Amino acid sequence: MPTSTASRAEAALAGALRDAIGRLGRRMRHHANHPELSLGQLAALRSLDLHGPMSPSEMATHERVQPPSMTKIVARLEELGYVSRAAHPQDRRQVIVTISTAGAGLLEDDRRRRDAWMAQRLGVLDPEELAALRAALPALEKLSRS
């Protein structure tokens, strides 16, 4: 049974991956390079910057959180002035969330901060490891949204 054998061989990958992701997430949450925003808030903002204005539901789907969680994330981002909420022109139930100039500025700042973060964190990796990480990024993206 080649399939079973293959998948059993890769179960070790799944386990090690799960542990590493858990530890990494924990570290990232607590030693955030941007203390004002959580990982989830930052990811939502980046998604908005990348894909343009959208509704909270779409954002929730994209970031794989439940709608009430996204409500809170958007509320916090709006409170800080990084996004604005506007009524949908036709359907008044819907809300359109748009990134603000300040929000885009924060992401720009975040990019600069990541340079420093890299020196500390990704800096422990050698070029081969960095390349491996970059090559695996599409798979991680896909996995994180599947």
Partner DNA sequence: TATTGTTATACTCTATAACTATA
Partner DNA sequence: TATAGTTATAGAGTATAACAATA
- Binds a second copy (CB under 8 A): choice among 10, 51, 57, 67: 10
Nearest in space to 43 (alpha carbons), one of 55, 29, 23 = 29
Residue closer to a second copy, measured from CB, 36 or 141: 141
Rounded to whole angstroms, the Cα distance separating 53 from 55 reads 7
Place of tokens 């991956």: 17
- Binds DNA (CB under 7 A): choice among 22, 53, 105, 123: 22
Rounded to whole angstroms, the Cα distance separating 8 from 6 reads 5
Q: Residues in contact with DNA, total (CB under 7 A)?
A: 32
Residue 96 region by backbone torsions, left for phi larger than 0, else alpha for psi between -120 and 50, else beta:
beta
7 binds a second copy (CB under 8 A): yes
Residue closer to DNA, measured from CB, 132 or 143: 143
- Binds a second copy (CB under 8 A): choice among 51, 67, 75, 129: 129
86 binds a second copy (CB under 8 A): no
